[in-house]
Amino acid sequence: MFTIARWMCIPFVLLGGYVVGLWARELYGAKPSVVAVATWVVCPWVLGHGALGTTDVASAALGVSAAYLFWRWQRLPSWPSALVAGFVIGVMLVSKFSLLILIPVLCGQWLFTTCRASGMRFQCDVYHVIGMAVVSAAVINASYGFDGIMVPLGKIPFVSKALTTSHAGDPAAAGNRFSGTLVGRCPMPIPREYLVGLDLQKRDFERGLASYAYGEWRNRGWWWYYLFALAVKTPIGVLGLYVMAAASCVVLRVQREELLPLACAASVLVALSFQTGFGVHGRYILPALPFLYIFVSRLMSESIRHFRVLRIASVTMLAAAAVESACIYPHSLSFFNIAFGGPSHGYRYLADSNVSWGQDLFFLEAWLRKHPEVAEPNLLYAGVVNPSLAGVRCRLPQSQPVPPPVSNDENGGLEAGWYVIDVNYLVGSQAPALGENGELVWSVSSDYDWIAFTAMEPYGRVAYSFVVYRVER
């Protein structure tokens, strides 16, 4: 089942590359489209998360597809193009809540474009937009089996501070902010559970979670977290392309047709920067990447063909990015660029899914077969997939960990034996580990002195996720 789930990500990887190339071709021409697709193909973010059974790459592909179809409809308005755009927008909104930020961007683009149109064109566009909204709502409702639709807004059990109000300062008595109001009586044309899920995501950002960046832990995130993740986990060559594309705006003024990709990328990055409740997963920036790749492809457009140095530098940067990405493949999830020491030192800057998400269990199994002396080691890793499914024979933490005896010896009181430690725990992560009965053990990192391993010499390393230690008696 895990393999099948990962196979389902492949069509979305291909879809993202296809739409990026198609949009770049229509904006700038054939050669720029090759640059856009190549940047998508060599991107460690895409290669890493595109191999996982998660929605990150899928949402990025659907986001750029929805924006492209909307852009195409604006250029050649018709009922078929409007309905297709509405359908894909609905699928996009189901794939990831954060993509809701693209809706005001698309609406703003439409208003900006149609403000100069004739009255007849504006009236036709209004009908098309209403049709899009109806189709998108139908897709969302169908995804939830048409369950919980037309529930009054005031009767939905919200929990976030933004959508609740407390009575007499008592958080326990918090209730729906819209209850008893005119707005609260309005039936919602989308599923109740969709709104509840959106509210729960908002609460996560409000209450804060343990976050790690640049060697520091705190209970909330940072406004610069996602920009920092973009900087450290993007190949140097691609960062160079970003800088040159921005500089090219001096030579070639940004045209109206280019505004939508830029606005979509900026909206995602700005919206994430305002969500400072936690900084854990840099992968949240993935929906912004295809729009950035379309933008950098302008470096090869015919409009700046006279600036040969710029075009040669662009090809050189892209080639350098491809080499840097290829050098770490297939461990792309753990990619960090050479300016920050590469993937071997990445966990010193970011943790969690930025480095290790259980993706290297098969590599661990292969490493253990080559090192028979490391028999059934103690394994601590931040994942939910049982290692035995990958053929890894090991000992997992107990359901109720018993702290080791207090000791002043150099091993910190750890029992003698072999240990395979997820790099997340080497920087003090409090994330739950998989226990011996398949459950998550939340207190394991606080009960065991895993930080003691940082003072020991590693016996070996497995990919960029695990470090192997031997504790002597």
pLDDT at 401: 47
Q: 3-class SS at 151?
A: strand
pLDDT per position as a tens digit, 289-334: 999 999 999 999 887 777 788 889 999 999 999 999 999 999 999 9
pLDDT per position as a tens digit, 120-157: 677 788 899 999 999 999 999 999 999 989 999 999 99
Instruction: Give the Cα separation of 131 and 78 in Å (integer).
Output: 11
- Which phi-psi region, left, alpha or beta, contains residue 365 (left: φ > 0; alpha: ψ -120 to 50)? alpha
pTM of model > 0.85: yes
Tokens 């990405």, residue? 325
In the 3-class helix/strand/coil scheme, how is 75-101 assigned residue by residue? Answer: HCCCHHHHHHHHHHHHHHHHHCHHHHH
Q: Are 201 and 318 in contact (CB under 8 A)?
A: no
Stretches in the chain below the pLDDT threshold 70: 1-2, 115-120, 166-174, 398-413, 437-439, 441-451, 473
pLDDT at 111: 86
Q: Are 335 and 321 in contact (CB under 8 A)?
A: no
pLDDT at 71: 96
Instruction: Give the Cα separation of 463 and 356 in Å (integer).
Output: 10
List the alpha helices (DSSP H) in 115-235: 119-143, 192-207, 225-232
Q: 3-class SS at 282?
A: helix
pLDDT at 105: 96
